[in-house]
Amino acid sequence: AAMREERIKKTKTVCTYCGVGCSFDIWTKGRKILKVEPTVEAPANGISTCVKGKFGWDFVNSEERLKKPLIRDGNVFREAEWDEALTLIAERLTAIKNEFGPDALGFISSSKCTNEESYLMQKLARGVVGTNNIDNCSRYCQTPATVGLFRTVGYGGDSGSITDIEQSDMVLIVGSNTAESHPVLATRVKRSHKLKGQKLVVADLRKHEMAQRADVYIKPKPASDLVWLSAVTKYIIDQGWADETFIASKVNGFDEYYKSLESYTLTFAEKETGVSQETLIKIAEMIHESKSLVVLWAMGVTQQLGGSDTSTAISNLLLVTGNYGRPGTGSYPLRGHNNVQGASDFGSMPDRLPGYEKVVDEQVRAKYEKGWGVKLPKHPGLNNHEMVDAMHDGKLKALYLKGEEMALVDSNINYVQAGFEKLDFFIVQDIFFSKTAQYADVVLPAAPSLEKEGTFTNTERRIQRLYQVFEPLGESKPDWQIMMEIANRLGANWKYEHPSDIMSEAASLAAQFAGVRYELLEGYNSLQWPVKEDGTDTPLLFTDGFPFPDGKARLFPVQWTRPLEYDEQYDLHLNNGRLLEHFHEGNMTYRSEGISSKTPSVFLEVSPELAKERKLVSGTLVRLTSPYGQVVVKCHVTDRVHGKEIYLPMNDVGDATINKLTSSYADKDTDTPAYKDLMVKLEVLQEE
């Protein structure tokens, strides 16, 4: 064939590395990326990006990309044609469904995939197979925040835009390493703090960059945030500083809520959190003196036994102080993956259809049954945590998982991996041969964001389009096309020609997205849900009240769940989180030369005090043991951590993965693993 002339081209895309949702132009020639160029038009980031957005794309051309379907043949995989792989999938799924019923099948969608793909995965599970066993990885991170917000204010998303944060008088950050996990958003806070006198209070175990910058930094004991948040709220009420006008006109349940705070005195809080009463009073005063307050939070809050309750306590504090419905106020649970928000928004949840409508609601089901021309299952399905148990119990026989490295990122992975081995049939769809793929029967080659079209929804509920930069590599395909082929082989008759067809269908059914149309999302245009039929979007929530029947928010009483009790040999608290340079388990970033050359592997952070006590130096090789497993890793001595608290980044594709150590204990309301509730012991293997 004649060589096609390779022209330089510029394509708008959206970053896949965190929930900030930076958008930018990618300049390419052939399959070569020449540069990443942000522009003033980009709504979340303007002309900024971080290192991942700028340099994190080489993986697209990695030699290791999956280019053909793979089928297991004993202990090895062989390449197969699409037709053979899809035929096998249809046969096996049909056989398992016929023998054991639709609930023997499970589906896990991806927070890296598009909204349209999340919509199709849940439609495949519900509408084609007939099960609500569908979930996505927000179960591992932010579902507790969503629940906390549903309970109190009715929408599970950031209250306003990222730019609104700059207008706030005061920012409170709880359990979020914002500078590394959401760099471009953190830059806005840093700027307002430095230039506009915005007050900054940070609560975290680790003295990370935002903590170092804070006006007040507190280090509550692990898993005790609910206690000090409730004590500060109670103190504010007791001082007569609650926003009584706001509460009287916009909030229900004050009396019962106030009663629930009875035991959260400053004395109790000081005892249980280790934060002094004076400091808590100082924080309460700062809140009282501020005209507006936003709270940013992340995994330090949610990945605990009481993650939903602590998220609720944050929202309660904001309600008591009247901090909703104005620019610079409200809740900002910071979403991790690029499309964590969208994966749940578009229905990849076991109890909710797109737009968070409940599967148990007969009218809602009737609407979808009419729209899809099917009969839908009535009872909520299994979440991904429950699916793992069901694999062990022999109830879940088949799993279709796309774009998630579940064998590494779920907690207690020895248990998860043993569950995969019990499945009769396991389909993994990914861009690389992941650790999880090793357990699969069929591996399907998917196309990453640069090779497809669609939309992502970032942490501020902003739906943004991405445009195709490259053709899919080899025989890989966009996830939506693969799902459509599977659905049609299972008897459906889907005829989507472009992701815009899928979005139109979703918008016709889910009120929250009623006015979402691709024409309104051209280029750098975007929409923040809810979007009315006429295309009006909602950058700031709650300006006209709250989405409950009477328009009022609800103060929701919660109580503290104490952390797990460990045997005393496990004497060190092991925290975990991200590294700036890497994305989650690192399947993409470790394959991006521009990034892996800077940060090739993880290390364990130990405090100078602990280093002295145990004779550790940077480079010492140690073994960590929890009741669930062991890892071997090198130490790095740093004063970011304190005393007997140590920290291991979660971004590891090798053997030092944190989840060999984590337990199967989970938030009681959402089954989100309590990754942060972890005690270990440390042994020195070799001094450097």
Residue from the set 13, 18, 331, 558 that interacts with ligand SF4 by CB under 6 A = 18
- If one counts every other C-beta atom within 10 angstroms of the C-beta of residue 615, the result is 9
| Residue 453 · residue 468 · CB < 8 Å | yes
State the minimum distance, in angstroms, from the CB of residue 296 to ligand SF4.
14
Contact between 584 and ligand SF4 by CB under 6 A: the answer reads: no
Q: For ligand SF4, give the closer residue by CB, 494 or 583.
A: 583
Does residue 670 bind ligand SF4 (CB under 6 A)? Answer: no
Q: Is 557 exposed, middle or buried (0-12, 13-18, 19+ CB in 10 A)?
A: middle
Measured distance CA(118)–CA(220) in Å, rounded: 37
Distance of closest approach, residue 282 Cβ to ligand SF4, in angstroms: 31
**Contact pick of 124, 128, 134, 184 for ligand SF4 (by CB under 6 A):** 184
Strand partners, 401: 108, 428
Selected binder of ligand SF4 within 22, 286, 407, 521 (CB under 6 A): 22
Q: Residue 271: in which H helix or E strand, if any?
A: helix 266-273
Q: Is residue 144 a contact point for ligand SF4 (CB under 6 A)?
A: no
Please report whether residue 450 would count as binding ligand SF4 according to CB under 6 A. Answer: no
- Of 12-20, 166-174, 464-472, 486-494, which segment contacts ligand SF4 by CB under 6 A? 12-20
- Count other Cβ atoms within 10 Å, centred on residue 370: 10
Among 183, 306, 445, 454, the residue binding ligand SF4 under the rule CB under 6 A is: 183
CB of residue 458 vs ligand SF4: minimum separation in angstroms?
A: 8
Burial letters 4-34, b for 16+ CB under 10 A, else e: eeeeeeeebbbbbbbbbbbbbbbbbeeeebe
Tell me if the bond preceding 530 is cis, omega within 30° of 0: yes
Q: How far is the CB of 557 from ligand SF4 (least distance, A)?
A: 35
**Contact region with ligand SF4 (CB under 6 A), list: 162-170, 182-190, 226-234, 541-549:** 182-190
Given candidates 25, 26, 43, 53, which one binds ligand SF4 under the rule CB under 6 A?
A: 53
Comparing CB distances to ligand SF4, the nearer of 51 and 90 is 51
Residue 445 touches ligand SF4, criterion: CB under 6 A = no
Q: Does 15 bind ligand SF4 (CB under 6 A)?
A: yes
Q: How far apart are CB 18 and ligand SF4 at their closest, in Å? A: 3
Residues 12, 13, 17, 320: which binds ligand SF4 (CB under 6 A)?
A: 17
Task: Give the nearest distance from C-beta 596 to ligand SF4 in angstroms.
Answer: 16
Q: Provide CB contacts within 8 A for 172, sequence distance 6+.
A: 201, 202, 203, 283, 287, 293, 294, 295, 296
Stretch that binds ligand SF4, among 18-26, 105-113, 244-252, 349-357 (CB under 6 A): 18-26
Query: Which one, of 531, 560, 670, 673, lies nearest residue 155 by Cα?
Result: 531
- In angstroms, rounded to a whole number, what is the distance separating the alpha carbons of residues 85 and 70? 8
Instruction: Decide whether 435 or 582 has the Cβ nearer to ligand SF4.
Output: 582
**Spatial separation of the C-alpha atoms in residues 494 and 499, rounded to whole Å:** 12
Q: Could you tell me which of 150, 189, 142 has the C-alpha nearest to residue 300?
A: 142
Is the Cβ–Cβ distance between 24 and 39 less than 8 Å? yes
**Residue 161 carries which side chain, given as an amino acid letter?**
S
Question: Which CB sits closer to ligand SF4, 54 or 123?
Answer: 54
At residue 134, φ and ψ (nearest 5 deg) are -145, 130
DSSP letter assigned to residue 139? G
Q: From 352, 294, 304, 357, select the one nearest 327 (Cα to Cα).
A: 294
Task: Give the residue closest to ligand SF4 by C-beta.
Answer: 53
Give the C-alpha separation, 374 to 271, whole Å.
57
CA distances from 261 to 30, 266, 394, 557, 674 (A): 62, 11, 44, 8, 24
Ranges within 494-523 binding ligand SF4 (CB under 6 A)? none
Q: Does 161 bind ligand SF4 (CB under 6 A)?
A: no
User: Judged by CB under 6 A, does residue 57 bind ligand SF4?
Assistant: no
Q: Does 174 bind ligand SF4 (CB under 6 A)?
A: no
Q: Which is nearer to ligand SF4, 20 or 269 (CB)?
A: 20
**With respect to ligand SF4, which residue has the nearer C-beta, 17 or 107?**
17
Residue 50 interacts with ligand SF4 (CB under 6 A)? yes
The smaller minimum CB distance to ligand SF4, of residues 43 and 377, is found at 43
Q: Is 20 in the site for ligand SF4 (CB under 6 A)?
A: yes
Adjacency order of strands within the sheet including 454-457 = 454-457, 462-466, 526-528
DSSP string, 504-528: HHHHHH-GGGTT--GGGGSTT-EEE
Report whether 635 contacts 618 (CB < 8 A).
Answer: yes
Task: Assign 167 to helix, strand or coil.
Answer: helix
Q: Scanning residues 68 to 127, which ones bind ligand SF4 (CB under 6 A)?
A: none
The count of other CB atoms within 10 Å of the CB of residue 643 is: 13
Q: Report the residue number, 377 or 454, with the smaller CB distance to ligand SF4.
A: 454
342 touches ligand SF4 (CB under 6 A): no
- Smallest separation, CB 23 to ligand SF4 (Å): 8
Smallest separation, CB 52 to ligand SF4 (Å): 4
Whose Cβ is closer to ligand SF4: residue 17's or residue 415's? 17
Cα gap 404→108, rounded to integer Å: 8
Our CB check for ligand SF4 shows the closer of 55 and 494 to be 55
Structure token pair of residue 60: 């697209």
Nearer to ligand SF4, 53 or 629 (CB): 53
Binding region for ligand SF4 (CB under 6 A) out of 43-51, 83-91, 234-242, 509-517 = 43-51
580 forms part of the interface with ligand SF4 (CB under 6 A): no
List interacting residues with ligand SF4 (CB under 6 A).
Answer: 15, 17-18, 20-22, 45, 49-50, 52-53, 182-184
